[in-house]
Amino acid sequence: MLNILLFGPPGAGKGTQSEKLIHGHGLIHLSTGDMLRAERKAGTELGKQIQAIMDAGKLVSDDIVIKMIGQKLKEHTGAVGFIFDGFPRTVVQAEALDSLLAGYNTQIEHVVLLEVHEQELVHRLLKRAQEEGRTDDTPATIQKRIDIYKRETLPVADHYEKKGKLRRISGIGSVEEIYGQIELAIGKAN
Ligand code: B4P
């Protein structure tokens, strides 16, 4: 199996590069952000609970997202591999993912960290706000999401660096150039 984790601050290009990796390698895309937005859109009880949390730029509870990922792994038993996008976002989530995957005799092979400086992140997300109107792309919420990333999510990079799995890539440049660097980092470039 080829299991890749795309990691980086909000606006680094995780969703964008995930799309390219899915098409390039036939992987199943697991984005907790997309799953949570789908719950909101469907107006489920869970969707109502998480709405305010997401709009405030805070993290949804570990229990909720770990359960969602566990269900998706079960649904896609036999897949050639997964691309994890926006999950794990805390060390608790990372440890849970490691043990979930161990239950299927597999593991994360590559963790790709997309590095983008803060000014560019804010610029991209404000642009997306104009184009897509996402309710968490407001100036105050963007700053909150970046702060939470630094405090709660960056330690996840150390978790995988200790295991020798972390690959750092600049997320500045064209989408194609960055994709080429990811392919090199995961050893899949022609
Ligand atoms: P996500 O959906 O993961 O949102 P994100 O961090 O903003 O990343 P996204 O994938 O959308 O953006 P991308 O960088 O691709 O999470 C949203 C919220 O859900 C979180 O704040 C949290 O509340 C909750 N949540 C999700 N997962 C969770 C978890 N595991 N635990 C707890 N809570 C969780 O792209 C951004 C923009 O940049 C796009 O407009 C794109 O077009 C542009 N872009 C991409 N590449 C570019 C490039 N090379 N150059 C210029 N622009 C580029």
CA of 72 to the centre of ligand 1 (A): 20
Calculate the average pLDDT of the chain. Answer: 96
CA of 79 to the centre of ligand 1 (A): 24
- How many C-beta neighbours within 10 Å does residue 33 have? 19
Task: Single out the catalytic residue among 58, 128, 165, 168.
Answer: 128
CA distances from 74 to 2, 32, 111, 164, 169 (A): 16, 15, 22, 27, 31
* Mean pLDDT (10-residue bins), the chain, 190 residues: 95 96 93 97 95 96 98 95 97 98 96 97 96 94 97 96 96 97 85
pLDDT tens for residues 89-139? 999 999 999 999 999 999 999 999 999 999 999 999 999 999 999 999 999
The answer to whether residue 89 is catalytic is: yes
Residue 17 to residue 146: CA distance in whole angstroms: 19
65 touches ligand 1 (CB under 6 Å): yes
The answer to whether residue 145 is catalytic is: yes
Q: What is the pLDDT of residue 52?
A: 94
